[in-house]
Chains A and B, each alone.
Chain A
Amino acid sequence: MRRNSLAVSMILCGLICCACRTQPSSTRLTVADFELISTEIAARLRQSDFLTDRTPQSKRLILTVESVTNLSTDLLSEVEKWYLVDRVLDAPTMRSLGQSKNIGFVIPIEKLHLFKEHVNETANIARNRQPTHVMRTVLRSISRTAGADRTDLYDVEFKIVAIPKGQLVWSDHFALKRIARGKAYN
């Protein structure tokens, strides 16, 4: 009897372990990916010709940002989009730019509109907001699948555009690859 019950329990465990192994596997971006992308891009921007050529005496540059344009297969919430760009601007390498490079940061226009709605004020708030440059971010991905194997290459493009001339003054890419095995319905 004991032998039988042991055998039954082993079979059950085997089945359960197999079920666990086919747990859904995903190539979606993780929080660690967001951190890697933002840290890397902040470092590259800091070292770019666009910034290294600037001094405290350079003409004042007022930078604003736009939310991420997500053209990838991953679904990003508004919060996640803002998290990615905010992390670039909040990186330790970027914080010292105010004085050393004569750069100011102003509230993004989307956030300003939300703020105005929230405080129910339409006049005079950010009246003198005049950004000279905007940072844009585009997230793309290319997907490859073969059977149960899936690969997604994510490519994030950051670029800074001068306002109002529309001149592209800086751009860079960062790519990362994620793999997964298994179907979403497993």
Chain B
Amino acid sequence: MKYGNGIQRIFSSLAFIALSVALFTTAGCRSHPPAGTSAGRVPIGTSTPGEASSGLMRSDDLIEASEQVATALSEDVSEMALRDFGGKLITVTFGDLVNKTSRMPTTDFEFLRDRIKSRLMDSRFVRANIRFVENRARREALRNRELGQYAGRAAGAGAGSTPDIETFAFLNGNMYSVDRPGTRLYYLKFELMRADDGQTVFSKDYEVKYIQLGR
């Protein structure tokens, strides 16, 4: 009789444990957001732990730097277009924009470069004097891909698709960095080369100083 009671107690205790585990497990796991929600999205300007201690530029700083450089560059390029090309509409293609920094990751550089290019193209100052075209390889690839054998029938195909050499220029650039403890200076050097005679008609540096906080 005593043994019977003992076994019953053991079984009831085990059942109690199992029930508790099942209940708490369900409750514990349900407290997490389900996968696929936007729970991990934060406003762009938020400083996150992952960025603060990464030792690299914060993404917000990269965005701000791209805005500053693009604004300054668009004003300078617009002035140059009026001064050196007599106000004619000039055609610019992006040439080499090279990352020569010691520590900026390629992904960061491409992010910065593409935002500057995009902001430059969106500038009202710039659009009044300059139009941007893809480089020759991309133009031809696009034409062949989209129009194929009917390319010749397209409006503007053929001679019209090649920019006028006298008002055609390449925008090239390099990005360098100076690394010193606590401070990192990035500078972007942009040059505009006239396609007709290879003359550099515009050259200017734009600086971005980054003071590192934390480690």
Interface residues of A (CB under 8 A from B): 1-2, 4-6, 8-10, 12-13, 16-17, 20-21, 23, 25-27, 30-33, 36, 64, 71, 109, 127, 130-132, 134, 138, 140-147, 149-151, 153, 155, 157, 159, 161, 163-168, 171-173, 175-181
Contact = CB atoms under 8 A, between A and B. Distances in A.
15 contacts: A2-B13, A20-B31, A21-B32, A30-B38, A71-B107, A109-B146, A144-B48, A145-B50, A151-B59, A155-B115, A166-B135, A168-B132, A171-B118, A178-B41, A180-B40
Interface string B22-41: 00110011011001111011
B17 A5 contact: yes
Contacts of B25: 13, 16-17, 20
Contacts of A141: 107
B114 A166 contact: no
Given A132-B155, A167-B132, A168-B133, A144 B38 contact: no
Nearest to A143: B107
Contacts of B147: 130-131, 163-164
Nearest to B55: A146
B51 interface: yes
B15 to A, nearest CB: 10
A164 B161 contact: yes
A138 B46 CA distance: 24
A130 B150 contact: yes
A129 B9 CA distance: 81
B136 to A, nearest CB: 8
Contact of A142 (B108, B145, B151, B154): B108
Contact of B24 (A17, A138, A153): A17
B8 to A, nearest CB: 11
A137 B52 CA distance: 30
Contacts of A36: 38
B36 A30 contact: yes
Contact of B13 (A5, A150, A153, A168): A5
Contacts of B52: 146
Given A109-B146, A164-B157, A166-B133, A149 B53 contact: yes
B56 interface: yes
Contacts of A2: 13, 16
A35 B157 CA distance: 37
A151 B139 contact: no
Contacts of B132: 167-168
A27 B168 CA distance: 43
Contact of A157 (B51, B114, B134): B114
B138 interface: yes
Most buried by B among A8, A16, A17, A168: A168
Contacts of B49: 146-147, 149, 151, 179, 181
B156 A164 contact: yes
B118 to A, nearest CB: 5
B153 interface: yes
A1 B11 CA distance: 11
B183 interface: no
Contacts of A9: 16-17, 20-21, 24
Interface in B46-73: 46, 48-54, 56, 58-59, 62-63
Contact of B154 (A31, A157, A164, A175): A164
